[in-house]
Amino acid sequence: MAAAVFVVPGSIDTRTGGSIYDRRMAEGLRRCGWSIAVVELEGGFPQPTAAAVAGAAAALASLAAGTLVVIDGLALSALPAVIEREAARLRIVALIHLPLAADVGFDADTRARLAVAEQRALAAAALVVVTGQATVGLLQQYALPRDRVVVVEPGTDPAPLARGSGGPAVHLLCVATLNAVKGHDVLLSALATVPNRAWRLTCAGSLTRDRASADRVRALVRRLALEDRVTLIGELDAEALAACYDEADAFVLATRRETYGMAVAEALARGLPIVSTVTGAIPGLVGHDAGLLAPPDDAGALAAVLSRVIGDAALRARLAAGARQVRECLQGWELAAARMGGALQGLDAHD
């Protein structure tokens, strides 16, 4: 029986895109006949405490020689010395959602420091799995051999079509942790300038994972006098989130950077029109018929497409029809896990 150990930062049940990907891959591989163990690290990755580094080192040292170890990039890229040491006896696979050096949530000095550590860790890995084609380009700065980098995109669960709000105001839904990357500030600034005021926005996503960003978003809502139309509902369980999707008329995400765009794919699975940004796999997912896109970090351009979607019911209907066509082509998690298994078995064959 094929076997692997997944090493993840924090709980694998955390409701972030990276953790959801890790968990669904582990579950999918088990259904494919793999024996999968999970090691959860603690200590504030990707900027861990000394105790967390020691704990991670001990966890890897406890694994038998030859073990296939898939390490989430938030942990791996922060542990260069540990990875370099253990690579001599373990088969280490780096699982990169977004390179730390490309995370706009960090300042330039921090990104530069993380890039040095990340390059060392990735150079020691036997294989690098990335979750979107865009990440391949982001890793070019590390000069990794191309045959050691494999793309395994996420899956998307089938979902019922959203029924919509049925109200006079267009209900916009944003699903994303409130942090610097997801662009809630750009979204709010754009909405504040839309002439048509017949809209309301629900933002579903953690308000505690990045408290500073959440506080800035709350302050911006107040400054723009949008309290009566913007709801920051926080992190939701699956049932409550499904209800939000069902009541939405359109999905919005002003993200500054993505490698794939799992929330966009989930919205498409419900047949929702998309308003988002040109980053990661989002343009390919949305295509020409399922949504309107603006450049990242451009509130003016985003306001223009939001104005069109909010003010034109016929346009929303056409985009919804396009989304319903896209939903039939979305990759499921079963196929995604099979592709992950193939990548890992390919490493075995190479060895």
DSSP for 74-122 reads HHHTT-HHHHHHHTTTSEEEEEESS-GGG-TTS-HHHHHHHHHHHHHHH
Cβ proximity of 102 and 140 under 8 Å: no
Q: What amino acid occupies position 250?
A: A
Structure tokens at 153: 């995109």
- Residue 183 neighbours by CB under 8 Å, 6+ apart: 253, 254, 255, 256, 277, 296, 297
Q: Give the pLDDT of residue 347.
A: 82
Structure tokens at 202: 């629900």
User: CATH top-level class for 170-327?
Assistant: alpha beta
pLDDT tens for each residue of 90-119: 999 999 998 988 887 788 888 888 899 999
Q: Give the pLDDT of residue 348.
A: 61
Q: Give the pLDDT of residue 345.
A: 93
Structure tokens at 199: 């809209």
What order of strands is seen across the sheet that includes strand 68-72?
A: 35-41, 3-9, 68-72, 91-96, 127-130, 149-151
How far CA 60 is from CA of 1, 150, 223, 253, 301, in Å, comes to 21, 23, 49, 37, 47
CA distance 228 to 221: 9
DSSP string for residues in 50-64: HHHHHHHHHHHHTSP
Strands 3-9 and 250-252: unpaired
pLDDT tens for each residue of 314-346: 999 999 999 999 999 999 999 999 999 999 998
Q: Give the pLDDT of residue 107.
A: 84
CA distance 344 to 18: 19
Q: Residue 110 burial (CB < 10 Å; 0-12/13-18/19+)?
A: middle
3-state DSSP assignment of residue 138:
helix
Cβ proximity of 170 and 310 under 8 Å: yes
Strands 149-151 and 127-130: parallel
Spans of all domains in the chain: 3-155+331-350, 170-327
Q: Give the pLDDT of residue 108.
A: 86
Out of 3.30.565.10, 3.30.390.10, 1.20.810.10, 3.40.50.2000, the CATH code matching 3-155+331-350 is 3.40.50.2000
pTM above 0.85, yes or no: yes
Q: Residue 315 burial (CB < 10 Å; 0-12/13-18/19+)?
A: middle
Q: Where are the beta strands (DSSP E) in 205-349?
A: 230-234, 250-252, 274-277, 291-294
Q: What amino acid occupies position 31?
A: R
**Cross-strand bridge partners of residue 96:** 130
Q: Give the pLDDT of residue 62.
A: 97
pLDDT tens for each residue of 102-161: 887 788 888 888 899 999 999 999 999 999 998 998 898 899 998 899 999 999 999 999
Question: Residue 181 gets which letter from DSSP?
Answer: T
Q: Which residues of the chain have pLDDT under 70?
A: 348-351
Q: Give the pLDDT of residue 346.
A: 86
Structure tokens at 285: 């997912």
Say if residue 46 is preceded by a cis peptide, omega within 30 of 0: yes
Find, among 248, 302, 245, 311, the residue nearest to 279 by Cα: 302
**Residue where the block lists tokens 């994303």:** 176
CA distance 157 to 266: 7
